[in-house]
Amino acid sequence: MNSDPGRDPTKQYHDASVRVRYAETDQMGVVYHANYLIWFEIGRVELMRALGFEYKLMETEDDCYIVVVEASCRYHCSARYDEVIRIRTRIAQAANRMIKYSYELLRDSDGRLLATGSTTHVICGKDGKPKQLPQKYREKFRSLLLEPATRNESA
């Protein structure tokens, strides 16, 4: 976790990495675009792990499912087979019932920006009904927020 809120808020991100699988390529010879959303998911799960908790346990112990309500991605440069991709994840917003992540995908070998994107999520129980994110998680998410001003925001 590269986080040092007091000095450089732009450093408040977490880097995870994946190596491109053959199964993720398509006949254009590059990674099929839908796979980037799967990588985003890895980015936010690993960010949560770096914050000290496992998403898996949010589901099983706290009945909190982080459901995607919006996803978007801009593709700048193709990812290719066997490349190592750095997934840089930030928390863009963290309200009581909503979390927004932003992502940058970078080619690890040279730092080239491949894609940027974001996903917005609401918290639901297993029954699909929206609920508040438990306080213990909210605090952790907000510790990574880029803009302190949004910390008091509620959704």
Active-site residues, by number, are 26
User: What three-state secondary structure class fits 85?
Assistant: strand
Nearest distance from residue 142's CB to its own copies, in Å?
24
Complex with its own copies: residue 12 or 89, whichever CB lies closer: 89
Confirm or reject binding of residue 22 to its own copies (CB under 8 A).
yes
Size of the site for its own copies (CB under 8 A): 35
The rounded Cα 70 to chain-centroid distance in angstroms is 13
Site for its own copies in 96-155 (CB under 8 A): 128
Complex with its own copies: residue 41 or 104, whichever CB lies closer: 41
Site for its own copies in 28-87 (CB under 8 A): 28-30, 32-35, 37-38, 41-42, 45, 54-56, 65, 67-75, 78, 81-82
Tell me 132's DSSP state.
Answer: P
Complex with its own copies: residue 116 or 143, whichever CB lies closer: 116
Quick one: residue 119, left, alpha or beta (phi over 0 = left, psi -120 to 50 = alpha)?
beta
Query: To 10 degrees, the CA torsion angle through 31, 37, 43, 49?
Result: -130
Please report, for residues 21, 36, 55, 138, the alpha-carbon distance to residue 67 in angstroms, rounded to integers and kept in the order given.
Answer: 26, 17, 12, 16
Complex with its own copies: residue 18 or 144, whichever CB lies closer: 18
Burial 10-28 (b: 16+ CB within 10 A, else e): eebbbbbebebeeebbeee
Nearest distance from residue 84's CB to its own copies, in Å?
12
List residues near its own copies by CB under 8 A.
Answer: 21-23, 25-30, 32-35, 37-38, 41-42, 45, 54-56, 65, 67-75, 78, 81-82, 128
